[in-house]
Chain A
Amino acid sequence: MKLTGAQILIECLKKEGVDLIFGFPGGAVIDIYDELMKSSIRHVLVRHEQAAVHAADAYARVTGKVGVVLVTSGPGATNTVTGIASAYGDSIPVVVMTGQVPTKLIGNDAFQEVDIVGITRPCTKHNYLVKSVKDVAQTVKEAFHLARSGRPGPVLMDLPKDVMVDRTEFKYPEVIKMRTYNPTYGAHVGQIEKAGKLIVQSSRPVLYAGGGIISSNAAEELTELATLAQIPTTATLMGLGGFPGTHPLWMGMLGMHGTYCSNMAVANCDLLIAVGARFDDRVTGKLDAFASHAKIIHIDIDPTSISKNVRVDVPIVADCKNALGKLVTFLKGEKGINWKEKHEEWLAQVRDWDKKHPLSYKEEKGVIKPQYVVEKLYELTKGKAIITTEVGQNQMWAAQFYKFAEPRSLMTSGGLGVMGYGFPAAIGAQLAAPDRIVIDIAGDGSIQMNIQEMATAMEQRLPVKIAILNNQYLGMVRQWQELFYGKRYAATSLATAPDFVKLAEAYGAVGLRATKPEEVVPVIKKALKTPNLVIMEFVIAHEEKVYPMVPAGKATTEMLLV
């Protein structure tokens, strides 16, 4: 029996295990929506296409599956670009389907036509313009395969309207083989041996974990390696949750707003073991001074990440889980090493750094400190919530003061740094984990970048909690202006803002406000008890800064402290 392109598309999505699509309809995708409506796949109508991609991104992070988006041509497609670029920056598996004008009109400057394949070429792992109904099934198969395998990432399929209406025999390709794409999963045994020997020889090792730990489900192996060989461990923003935030070997995040302890340890170590991390500029600061006394082992599934920014002594191209597992096995074979004794002096030094400058902030009478709010959120959710963040100070305070216990519990736009990510991400996360508490830690600036999604959350009856740390500024930029631009606050005041409590009520949600420190806990408690969408507004110290801070381009040891 011959099926239409739209029918084939929906059948393929079902075969790929898709149960939820985030989207927004339009002329070019009416045929697809018509079929989608008849299927068992749930559709979540967002209020702006950017939010669809962020929601799908978070859905993918929580479930480990591929997030799926469906939007129309032209503006529908261009609105997804920020979401796609964010997923690309964080290596999150998302498949975005965009409508396109009929093939005959492509290149004609038709109504709602845009070359979205051209536009998204540099921010997708791969993308496709499907020109014939005969190619639909194969393309869907490839798109999902590419999105979830190797270093995951977003894949876009552009679907012209006539291709969705044309008919052909439907045959789903059960196996996939792409001769030009074959990622390396298994770590090379010789390289593992070299790495293992370096660990045995080192006296001041540090483990530096990135988002690869989360995407390859390697948290267990990472903890095992650290515990076995008694290696103090730090992580990037993307790696948080990959190592228990309360573990005695945990040093906290590293980099520009990392802990004193982590940055000092990296600067003084003699061996840096980077796992699923990519030596981002926010992590390394001034490159020459980063781990300058250390040999470097780098495990990553993407060869381009290795030796991109720093020279690496032992490169291991592999899946993190596979490589760490093999490394643990190798080290277990090295008998007669008392790791505790071997690293005793080093661990004492690390603890000393931690004691000297732990993460802290100054309390002020009658003023709510944002760090205090995050601490209380942590305590009152017992560290079990899924936290999403916006971008800026809110993101860094969340990363510093919420001790993430397990992987897939922090959703944040780490690479691209998208203000407006957190709320739609919270929607995606809540749909993926209906029984968990999901909190978007937001700023008063970034929450307004996708505030329209209040309607989506209400429509889907999602009890997402939004915690707005309201300092009436674009706080992170204001912090830079205060520290490096002579306190000239160009365009960073947000004194004109909506009444967030009334705003919540306008959407039918619950609005709560705390203006004094003693109101913080009751507001959080009330929000957690409310089975609805809640906005908690915390009116915080206006000029609070994120510390430690490494000024851009400086060595990570040159931290400004509290």
Chain B
Amino acid sequence: MKHTFSVMVENKPGVLSRVAGLFSGRGFNIESLCVAETLDPELSLMTLVTRGDEQIIEQINKQLNKLINVLKVVDVSEGDFVEREMVLVKVKAEGNTRAEVLRMADIFRGKIVDVSPREYTVELTGDENKIKAVLELLRPLGIKEVARTGTIAMPRSKKTP
């Protein structure tokens, strides 16, 4: 099962390596990892996507909590949550595919952020499925380069007051 953890950590040198080392040392997988400072500059938020059975996920949760620099661990995928990832895709855009790339970008509410006579660079955001769908549709047109941020996530707010 895929799980998305939100990990609040101290913004100190070496913390990322402690988290990464925990995963490699214990044979857990990291599918994606996103880290940036929070509103409180002393803290950073990591969004970590991993896979494992119930027992492994429980261990990952506990082992993350055990790291001294970790303040809080939330398995956001336990409840309703919003996830987003951003990708930059450089696509071949020549002759008649030039318009097709634009149409695709438009359909998926992407933006063209760089243009050259032969290529477009498209910026797209969405959840895992959307990103997958766009990339599959753009692939036949000729993808030159892809850069992905990895997933960030947040639990949804309670809908009833």
Interface residues of A (CB under 8 A from B): 117-118, 121-122, 125-126, 129, 146, 178-181, 302-304, 307-308
Contact = CB atoms under 8 A, between A and B. Distances in A.
A101 B18 CA distance: 23
A518 B14 CA distance: 60
A322 B21 CA distance: 33
Contact of A179 (B13, B17, B66, B71): B71
Contact of B21 (A121, A129, A302, A304): A121
B59 A304 contact: yes
11 contacts: A121-B14, A121-B18, A122-B21, A129-B14, A179-B71, A180-B10, A180-B68, A180-B70, A181-B68, A303-B66, A307-B55
Given A121-B21, A307-B55, A308-B59, A180 B66 contact: no
B10 A303 contact: no
Smallest CB-CB A-B distances: 8 pairs: A126-B68, A304-B62, A180-B71, A303-B62, A122-B25, A181-B68, A304-B66, A304-B63
Interface range on chain B (Cβ under 8 Å from partner)? 10 to 19
B14 A307 contact: no
Nearest to A118: B17
B55 to A, nearest CB: 7
B14 A117 contact: yes
Contacts of B58: 307
B65 interface: yes
A261 B23 CA distance: 39
B69 interface: yes
A303 B25 contact: no
Interface string B10-52: 1001100110010001000000000000000000000000000
A180 B21 CA distance: 19
A126 B14 CA distance: 11
A210 to B, nearest CB: 18
A458 B161 CA distance: 75
B68 A125 contact: yes
Contacts of A304: 59, 62-63, 66
Nearest to A124: B68
Contacts of A129: 13-14
Nearest to A150: B66
A118 B55 CA distance: 28
A498 to B, nearest CB: 39
Given A117-B14, A304-B63, A146 B68 contact: yes
Contacts of A308: 59
A150 to B, nearest CB: 9
Contacts of A307: 55, 58
A308 B55 CA distance: 7
B13 to A, nearest CB: 8
